[in-house]
Structure formats: structure tokens, C-alpha cells
């Protein structure tokens, strides 16, 4: 237990240092990198983070390990780190390289795993020394690793334990002298048995709750994959059809569509890897998605290509061209919008379905909206009732007006769950005259509004 605790404390210290560096980089303005005052402040901040760790009794060495043109180098000061990150230069002195050679050799052996898995690696040198490598990933991009050589010291704990044992020995001796040893033993034994039984109960309950949560996540994962696999099959059919129709006149248009289709298939396959994907794969500053373009592509190249339904679908679009781009993967947006439009088609009782899709941007409130309306029979009033959890029954699992279908009730539920992970809100309502309306509200940050 002591060895495990030493390693855990060493990893936590290294991870905290790396997090401080990442937060400093992510909150810094890249516009001011050439400003001398800002440069001085940034270098000072780097030096403070690096030097403060060395002031601790247990830390013997801290380095930033990077790879430049296949050459691995070690950085131990703020100015060199600043030049590498912001000026794209490296001024490490050759005399420093042999001093860190053993560290660079260890980093060379595990660099591939750190880059691929982005997790902490600990290499024990002996029972008292740990070499900890933590991936440095500012703004979601791998930049290298933070290395710390840590020698945890737990002598103060041993002293406290010894002191506690001495005090306990004195207490037991006093109890023996006064003839209370028997009573103390019985009461202590009884309490111990009670605590052990209670702890076993809590552990069993915790395990049960963990299994239940994992089961729910796996269930949602299975339903999400089931709900999208037939769409992937349909998109594969579109790809084959486009490839058969390709000629010199339409090659650019076909390439555009096939690329979009292939990227959607890749997203579906990616979603099959785990039931709880990282949030950075859903929303991140690296994504700059044009909502109008995504909606237009889904309508033209998905719904209007379905031959058995295309003759009865009439789409009308009204796009606000001032709507800002969103930092959400465009195929995640696809996964939200496609079930909502499909819902309007599936539940319409008319021979011809009229669907209106429009976007709107309110600059004062910093909000965008995607509104999907149809002229069908509307949504059952009981599905628009609020639940105890604060959202409408329509967005609950297994909720559908389709009869005799074991696989219904997931489209709106999945769209609602994915929208929540994007930080968006999804609402549904009936139109006064006829039909239903879905409203997707998207908040924008100040830099997106600009």
C-alpha cells in the first residue's frame, strides 16, 4: 500500500504541474507573443511553475521533453520553453544534452505510447524513486511531455504511526492495570465487526451502482449504434451510386459528396470504439462548422436522395447568413438534426410532407436557433408534458407513438442527449394551426459572435 501511495502521489504532483502549464498556455493570448512585456511575463510564469516544483523536498528534477525534426530535446527553463512554443525555435545548449541523456533515452522508448494513448507513465528506478512522464496537450494538441524525477518521503507518516502505536500501548497497559482489558477487547471487537460488515455493504452497493451506470451507458451506446448503422448502410449506397455516375463533368461535385459521406462513415465507426467518447471529439475550438452548409447537405444529399420518399417531400429553407460557425464536429450536428427531420417524415399523416428548416441569429443575446417545422399531425400532448428531470417526455428513452416497434423511441432521445453534450438545448412544441416544431438553441461565446 505504501509503494502504491508513493507512486500515486508522484503522478498527482506531476499531473498538477502539467495542468498548470496547459492552463497557462490555453489562457494566454497568442496575439501578444511579440510584445516584450507579455513575453517577459510568460517566461516568468514558466520559470515559476518549473522552479516551484524543485523547491519541494521530494522533487529532484523537472524537464519539458519535446521532439523537433526527429531530435528529442529537454527544456529546463522558461525562456527556452517560450521560444519553442511561440517562436518555433530551440536554443538548448549542447552541454545540456549529455546531462539529460538518460531521461531522453527513457522518453524515446515510450514517446509513441504517450502520443497515442495520452496517459501518464511512471517508471520506478527503485522503491524510493519514480520517473514520471505526463503528456503535455495544450489546446488539444500533443506538444511533448513533462518529466519529473520524484523521491516521495513518507518518514513523517512512519513517525506518526510509531507515535500512535506508543500511545496505544500506554492505553492498553493502563487498561490491564485497572482490570478493564476484557471489557475493552469485547467492545472493540464488536465495533470492528460492525464496521467491517458496514464497509462490505457499502462496497457491494458501490459496485452495484457502478455496474448499473456502466450498463446504462452501454445500453445507450448499443442503441446509438443501432440507430446509426442503417444510416451508414444508406450512405454507403449513395457512395456507390455516385462512383458509378462519375464522369469528367461532375467529378468535383461527386468528390465533395463522397468526401462528406466517407467522413460520416468514419464518424460512425469512431463512435463504435467506446460508449462514452471524450468531449473533445464532440466540441473543440478546432471545429468550425457552418450550420447552414450542414443542413443544406443533409436535405439535398440525404433526404432528397431517398427514391421511395422523395416524391412526397417538399423542403423549404430560410438560412440566416450571419449565423456564426460553431465549435462542434459537423457530423455530431448531423447526428442531432437527421433524427429530428426524420421524425417529421415518419409521423406525418399527409401524402405530401412540407418541412420548413430555417436558421436565425440574435446578435444581442448571442444565440442562434435552428427551427424545423412540418405540417403533419403534430405531437401528442402527453409527450409534451414536463418530467421530473426537467425535460419533455418526447425526449425520454423508449418514448414513441409508433405501434409494435421494439426499436422506436430513440431518435429524439439520442438527439436530445447529444445536444446536451454540445451545450445546446432542444425543445419541441405543436404549431397552432397544424404540425409540429423542433427548436435547437445554440449559445455562442463572445469570440464566436465577433
Averaged pLDDT, 108-122: 84
- Whether pTM > 0.85 for this model: the answer is no
pLDDT score, position 446: 58
Architecture of domain 278-449: 2-Layer Sandwich (3.30)
427: cell is: 425543445
Residue ranges of domains in the chain: 2-150, 156-206, 278-449
Indicate whether 372 pLDDT > 90. yes
What count of other Cβ atoms lies within 10 Å of the Cβ of residue 305? Answer: 16
pLDDT at 277 over 80: no
Question: For residue 404, what pLDDT is reported?
Answer: 46
Per DSSP, 305 falls in state G
The predicted model gives 194-218 an average pLDDT of 84
The per-residue pLDDT for range 53-72, each reduced to its tens digit, is 766 667 778 888 888 777 78
| 135-154 pLDDT per residue, tens | 888 877 788 888 888 887 66
The 10s digit of each residue's pLDDT in 207-223 is 888 888 777 667 666 66
Do residues 442 and 369 make contact, with C-beta atoms less than 8 angstroms apart? yes
Q: Which three cell numbers stand for residue 229?
A: 448503422
Helical ranges in 70-154 per DSSP H: 78-82, 96-99, 101-117
Query: Would you identify the CATH topology of the domain 2-150?
Result: Beta-Lactamase (3.30.450)
CB burial readout 7-36, b (16+ within 10 A) else e: beebbebbbebbebbbeebeebeeeeeeee
pLDDT > 60? residue 325: yes
Backbone phi and psi for residue 152, each to the nearest 5 degrees, phi listed first = -60, 140
Average pLDDT on 432-446 reads 85
Amino acid at each position: 500500500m505504501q509503494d502504491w501511495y508513493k507512486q500515486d502521489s508522484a503522478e498527482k504532483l506531476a499531473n498538477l504541474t502539467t495542468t498548470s502549464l496547459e492552463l497557462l498556455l490555453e489562457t494566454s493570448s497568442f496575439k501578444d507573443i511579440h510584445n516584450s512585456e507579455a513575453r517577459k511575463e510568460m517566461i516568468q510564469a514558466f520559470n515559476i511553475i518549473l522552479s516551484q516544483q524543485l523547491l519541494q523536498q521530494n522533487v529532484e528534477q523537472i524537464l519539458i521533453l519535446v521532439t523537433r525534426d526527429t531530435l528529442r530535446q529537454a527544456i529546463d527553463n522558461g525562456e527556452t520553453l517560450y521560444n519553442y512554443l511561440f517562436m518555433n525555435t530551440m536554443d538548448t545548449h549542447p552541454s545540456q544534452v549529455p546531462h539529460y541523456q538518460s531521461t531522453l533515452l527513457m522518453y524515446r522508448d515510450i514517446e509513441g505510447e504517450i502520443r497515442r494513448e495520452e496517459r501518464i507513465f511512471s517508471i520506478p528506478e527503485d522503491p524510493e524513486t519514480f520517473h514520471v512522464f505526463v503528456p503535455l496537450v495544450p489546446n488539444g494538441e500533443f506538444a511533448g511531455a513533462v518529466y519529473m524525477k520524484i523521491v516521495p518521503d513518507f518518514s513523517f507518516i512512519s513517525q506518526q504511526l510509531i507515535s500512535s502505536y506508543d500511545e496505544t500501548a500506554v492505553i492498553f497497559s493502563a487498561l490491564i492495570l485497572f482490570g478493564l482489558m476484557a471489557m475493552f477487547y469485547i467492545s472493540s471487537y464488536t465495533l470492528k465487526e460492525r464496521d467491517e460488515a458496514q464497509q462490505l455493504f457499502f462496497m457491494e452497493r458501490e459496485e452495484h451502482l457502478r455496474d448499473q451506470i456502466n450498463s446504462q451507458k452501454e445500453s445507450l451506446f448499443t442503441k446509438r449504434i443501432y440507430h446509426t448503422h442503417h444510416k451508414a448502410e444508406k450512405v454507403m449506397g449513395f457512395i456507390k451510386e455516385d462512383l458509378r455516375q462519375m464522369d469528367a463533368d461532375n467529378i468535383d461535385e461527386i468528390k465533395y459528396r463522397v468526401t462528406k459521406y466517407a467522413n460520416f462513415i468514419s464518424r460512425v465507426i469512431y463512435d463504435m470504439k467506446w460508449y462514452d467518447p471524450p468531449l473533445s471529439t464532440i466540441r473543440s475550438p478546432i471545429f468550425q462548422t457552418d450550420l447552414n452548409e450542414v443542413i443544406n447537405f443533409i436535405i439535398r444529399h440525404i433526404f432528397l436522395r431517398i427514391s421511395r420518399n422523395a416524391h412526397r417531400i417538399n423542403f423549404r429553407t430560410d438560412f440566416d447568413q450571419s449565423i456564426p460557425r460553431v465549435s462542434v464536429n459537423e457530423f455530431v450536428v448531423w447526428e442531432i438534426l437527421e433524427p429530428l427531420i426524420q421524425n417529421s417524415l415518419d409521423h406525418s399523416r399527409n401524402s405530401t410532407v412540407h418541412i420548413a428548416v430555417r436558421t436565425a441569429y440574435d446578435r444581442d443575446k448571442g444565440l442562434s436557433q435552428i427551427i424545423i417545422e412540418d405540417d403533419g399531425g403534430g405531437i401528442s400532448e402527453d409527450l409534451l408534458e414536463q418530467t421530473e428531470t426537467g425535460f419533455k417526455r418526447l425526449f425520454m428513452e423508449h418514448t414513441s407513438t409508433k405501434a409494435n416497434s421494439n426499436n422506436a423511441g430513440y431518435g429524439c432521445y439520442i438527439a436530445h442527449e447529444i445536444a446536451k453534450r454540445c451545450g445546446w438545448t432542444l425543445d419541441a412544441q405543436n404549431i397552432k394551426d397544424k404540425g409540429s416544431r423542433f427548436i435547437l438553441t445554440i449559445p455562442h461565446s463572445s469570440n464566436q459572435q465577433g
